[in-house]
A and B are shown apart, each in its own frame.
Chain A
Amino acid sequence: MTTITRSNGTRSQLRPVWDEEPSLIGKIGKALSLALIVVVILFPIYIVVLTSISSPKAINEAGGLVIVPDGFSFAAYNEVLGGGVVVRALIVSICVTTVGTALSLALTAMAAYGLSRPGSLFHRPLLFLVLITFLFGPGIIPSYLLVNSLGLIDSYWSLILPSAISAFNLVVLRAFFMAIPGEVIESARIEGASDFTIFRKLVLPLSKAALAVIGLFYAVAYWNAFFNALLYLNDSAKWPLQMVLRTYILDGAPMQTASGTVDPSGLGLAAVPVTSVKMAVLVLAMIPVAAVYPFVQRHFIKGVIIGAVKG
């Protein structure tokens, strides 16, 4: 299995001697396909970002979304971040993501270590309990009734606790911990270290990369979570960013901002075009993902493969 994980772009050597040079058409076709992939993914993101920072004049001339840069303005961000629903939602999302990720990562790492020692008491039945959750989901209605009966409706904990443990992440992390050489842990044990100490002083520092990836998975899940909020939060003042995105940007309900109300269906504020306000909110929803992504992406392959093989 470990051989599989060694795929971090090791095929970088020059073309092997036995491999004939591809035809010109083949080369062009390949380059075009690759370019197409990149453009299809990046072009919409480019449009969104550009429109969010374009001047009203540029937006009016383009008739909405801007393709060619023509004057910049950050008025949309001032409008959105100056007050109103988006600011509140951003704060909620940031808090839920931070607290949730910390809790999820801590509990998942502890359980992953607890289940990673071969021959330990009950580790098989407990692992089985985790793995079996892959086979079926509980369904939204019983979940809703449970959260309801726990009194968590309209509580921020309803955005965290029901999805706090991802069995997939647990299994991936466990696989990482099991790959730590047993001798390292054994020698610590012989020197009298308890499992708590080994976990804290030895296993965690050795697994920083894995923890970063799992942390990213959790953080992205919390940041992107929309349905929990739809289901469990009736009070729109408590909405996280994704709910705001859906209600005001996707569905176009009038949105309260710093200096008034932006109504995407009709005329907006004179100073700031509705389009750029919409795009600014989209960018705000993308930024955290785009900001963390470069630091963790190189560990993806390992994580996903181990998870896929184990799961």
Chain B
Amino acid sequence: MRSETRPVSAPDASSGAGTGPAPPAAKKSKKQTEPKVPFRARLRRDWQLLVMTLPAIGLLALFHYVPTFGNIIAFQDYSTVDGILHSPFVGFGNFAYLLSEPAFWRAARNTVAITSFQLVFYFPIPIAMAILLNSVLGKRTRAIIQNVAYLPHFFSWVLVITIFQDMLGGAGLLGQFFTQHGVDGVDLTTNPDTFIALVTAQTIWKDAGWGTIIFLAALSTINPNLYEASAVDGASRWRRLWHITLPGLRPVIILLLILRLGDALNVGFEQFLLQRGAVGANAAEVIDTYVYWLGLRTGDYSIGAAASLLKGVIGLVLILVANRVAHKLGEQGIYQRT
């Protein structure tokens, strides 16, 4: 996709200062993806593009690559006094400690439980919503509903959680209703037992509508003739859904499942951090919040970095494995761009 969208732009005709040995032969070899222009001529031709690119790359490098290498402290006994250069290395000691730590396992267990729960109770919702929206024939009605459905995606987690607190919390609308009917103490936002359902509801409210976009796009690429042909052959509405719509969505569903798997240990950091206090760590501690509390609240930088590195590596492995499996099953998966 990346390389074929346009022909190699007839390269250096532009640079007015064509004094150098820039060979015009390059124009002939249009078929080739890499034009055979000497390095210096290309530099002279493209330096402005490089100048435009570098500030952004620089920032990404500084705030993404440098901290990535900073993860080295996961193998150290890091102290702020010695800094990253002089702190002693301890090999895999931090990881060993982590694996012996019940609090880490609790966070891991919660994370996996929440991810699995959301896979069942969140993942299918945008698909169903997209199919529903797609069946709305009126253009205006559909546009209005879509715009309403996308809106909460743009609210912050703080806002969403506060709104949920005001709807379902003890002092909120639901609590108010129960109090007026003589039942006290109904508060769904601080109950550890229902917490997993609460966070899933929050995720649905915020992001399910936005999640329909990609499925709507996939639905619009399904050839309408298929529907017509099968309708003529007597297939009912449900059979058309089963035999045409869902197969048409399959590549997208699998792609998103793979991405979801790679993200399995990311369940939404802010969402949990914000509610950890109200619900308690037993239910609301996930790996990310564990890293935050351990590293930045108690100052155990190295252990925290080890936990987050472990999480990142597992995520990377999961996504590669899932992609491999998808390829084996004859699906496209990711990074196999057309």
List A residues at the B interface (Cβ < 8 Å): 1, 3-7, 9-16, 18-20, 22, 26, 30, 33-34, 37-38, 40-42, 44-45, 47-48, 62-65, 67, 107-108, 110-111, 113-115, 117-123, 126-127, 129-130, 133, 135-146, 161-165, 167, 170, 178-179, 182, 185-186, 189-190, 192-196, 199, 220, 223-227, 231, 242, 245-246, 249-251, 278-279, 282, 285-286, 289-290, 293-294, 297, 300-301, 304-305, 308-310
Contacts and interface: CB of A to CB of B under 8 A. Distances in A.
A3 B73 CA distance: 48
Contacts of B158: 224, 226, 242, 245-246, 250, 285
Interface of B: 1-3, 5-11, 13-14, 16, 33-35, 39, 42-43, 45-57, 59-71, 73, 84, 129, 132-139, 141-143, 145-152, 154-159, 161-167, 171-173, 176, 179-180, 205, 209, 213-214, 216-221, 224, 227-228, 231-232, 237, 269-270, 273-274, 277, 288, 291-292, 295-296, 301, 304-305, 308-309, 312, 315-316, 319, 338
B191 to A, nearest CB: 17
Contacts of A139: 67-68, 70-71, 291, 305, 308-309, 312
A170 B56 contact: yes
B231 A118 contact: no
A140 B296 contact: yes
A110 B46 contact: no
Contact of B155 (A10, A11, A289): A289
18 contacts: A7-B219, A64-B173, A111-B53, A120-B49, A143-B67, A145-B84, A161-B63, A165-B63, A167-B60, A182-B9, A195-B48, A224-B158, A227-B273, A245-B159, A250-B161, A285-B156, A289-B154, A301-B213
B274 to A, nearest CB: 6
A107 B62 CA distance: 15
B137 A118 contact: no
Contacts of A41: 148-149, 151-152, 205, 209
A119 B33 contact: yes
A226 B156 contact: yes
Interface of B is mostly: helix
Contacts of A193: 14
Nearest to A194: B48
A304 B301 CA distance: 36
Name, among B34, B55, B227, the residue most crowded by chain A CB atoms within 10 Å (CB to CB): B55
B48 A64 contact: no
B315 A136 contact: yes
B136 A107 contact: no
B150 A297 contact: yes
Contact of A11 (B1, B46, B55, B134): B134
A7 to B, nearest CB: 4
A87 to B, nearest CB: 18
A118 B43 contact: no
Given A110-B55, A227-B270, A250-B161, A130 B60 contact: yes
Given A192-B16, A289-B154, A141 B305 contact: yes
B217 A7 contact: yes
Contact of B61 (A6, A129, A225): A129
Contacts of B148: 37-38, 41-42
A118 B8 contact: yes
B200 to A, nearest CB: 14
Contact of B55 (A107, A117, A186, A308): A107
B216 A7 contact: yes
A110 B232 contact: no
Contacts of A48: 163, 166
B6 A178 contact: yes
A20 B145 contact: no
B205 A111 contact: no
A220 B154 contact: yes
A149 B158 CA distance: 29
A43 B316 CA distance: 40
B60 A165 contact: yes
Contacts of A186: 9-10
Contacts of A44: 163-164, 166-167
B151 to A, nearest CB: 7
B64 A138 contact: yes
B139 A12 contact: yes
B315 A250 contact: no
Contact of B217 (A5, A16, A162, A170): A5
Given A63-B179, A121-B43, A189-B13, A142 B274 contact: no
Given A118-B3, A195-B48, A10 B291 contact: no
Name, among B10, B55, B156, the residue most crowded by chain A CB atoms within 10 Å (CB to CB): B156
Contact of B52 (A14, A40, A114, A167): A114
Given A7-B217, A145-B84, 16 more contacts: A4-B221, A12-B139, A108-B56, A111-B53, A111-B54, A113-B49, A118-B7, A118-B9, A119-B33, A139-B68, A161-B63, A226-B157, A227-B273, A245-B162, A293-B147, A293-B154
B231 A304 contact: no
B63 A30 contact: no
Contacts of B57: 111, 126, 129-130
B161 A18 contact: no
Given A40-B205, A47-B167, A110 B52 contact: yes
Name, among B48, B224, B301, B319, the residue most crowded by chain A CB atoms within 10 Å (CB to CB): B48
